[in-house]
Amino acid sequence: MKNHTLRRRFVLYGALIFIGLLVTVWTTASLAQNGVTNHGVFQRMAAMGIAKTAVGTLTDMVAGRVRFDRKVARAARKNLIRVTRHIPKVFKRPDGDRLSRAKTDIWLSWADFEIRAETAERAARRLRVGRLTSLQRTLPDMLNACLNCHQAYRKPGLNRPQENGLKN
Ligand code: HEC
């Protein structure tokens, strides 16, 4: 086989692998939101997904499923502060979607919803991630803040597999 044919073939395979990777990343990202078409709903679910990942990281450490790692814990805390601060913003518009579980009460009791978001943000700030014991002590308030709001403003049901970490 001539040299340049070989080279062309390499370039082609390289391109194909790259496209394959792109498609994988893209489908994983959209599957995570399970076919939500409304942009606003998509965004708030994406935000909640970040919250779930961060909470999952910290609960895994507390439960001893993964080894405590201060740096990782600190990054998770940072994400939780950021994402809880954004809750009012991503929920402000009463967007709807077939797959949304948000109760319309959110927009009828907006002040209360905001208070619950603030409580969550405060709990995120109060997370102590310097040591495992301090994380153990401060994580429950964070989880309660998540669950309190879900109990009030998220419809039960559907039980989608990606929510296994935090069902109520
Ligand atoms: C102030 C209220 C509030 C707080 C605080 C809150 N959530 Fe949510 N969360 C909601 C609502 C409402 C929904 C439903 C959104 C929808 O279906 O449109 C939701 C949905 C979710 C979902 C499902 C997303 C999806 O793809 O369907 C996950 C996971 C989640 N929350 C995790 C968390 C975690 C973890 C925390 C705490 C760090 C948290 N939430 C804090 C209100 C809240």
Ligand 1: nearest atom to the Cα of 106: 12
Q: In this structure, are 72 and 128 located in the same domain?
A: yes
| DSSP assignments along 64-87, one per residue | TSS---HHHHHHHHHHHHHHHHHH
Q: Is residue 48 located within the same domain as residue 92?
A: yes
Mean pLDDT on 65-75 = 98
Pick the atom of ligand 1 nearest to 163's CA.
29
Domain tally, the chain: 2
The residues near 44 (Cβ < 8 Å, ≥ 6 apart) are: 87, 90, 91, 95, 102
User: What per-residue confidence (pLDDT) applies to 6?
Assistant: 72
- In this prediction, residues 35-50 reach a mean pLDDT of 94
Q: Quote the pLDDT of residue 157.
A: 73
pLDDT per residue over 14-34, tens digit each? 766 666 555 555 544 544 456
Q: CB of 80 within 8 A of CB of 51? A: yes
| Cα 26 to averaged position of ligand 1 atoms, centre (Å) | 23
For 126, which DSSP code? T
Torsion angle of C-alpha atoms 63, 67, 68, 72, degrees rounded to 10: -110
Closest CA to 121 of 58, 78, 165, 61: 78
> Which of 30, 48, 143 to mutate to test ligand 1, by most ligand atoms within 8 A of the CB atom?
48
pLDDT digit string, tens, across residues 91-139: 999 999 999 999 999 999 999 999 999 999 999 999 999 999 999 999 9
Q: What number of residues does the chain have?
A: 168
Distance CA 125, CA 121 (A): 6
Beta bridge partners of 102: 154
What pLDDT is recorded for position 11? 72
CATH number of the domain within which 121 lies: 1.20.120.10
Domain assignment of residue 64, given as a range:
38-166
- Could you identify the residue written with the tokens 């009030």? 152
Residue 79 alpha carbon to ligand 1 centre in Å: 14
Same-domain check for residues 28 and 42 = no
What pTM does this model have? 0.81
Q: For residue 1, what pLDDT is reported? A: 55
Assess whether 51 and 20 both reside in one domain: no
Amino acid at site 63: A
With beta carbons less than 8 A apart as the criterion, state whether 129 and 1 touch. no
pLDDT of residue 118: 98
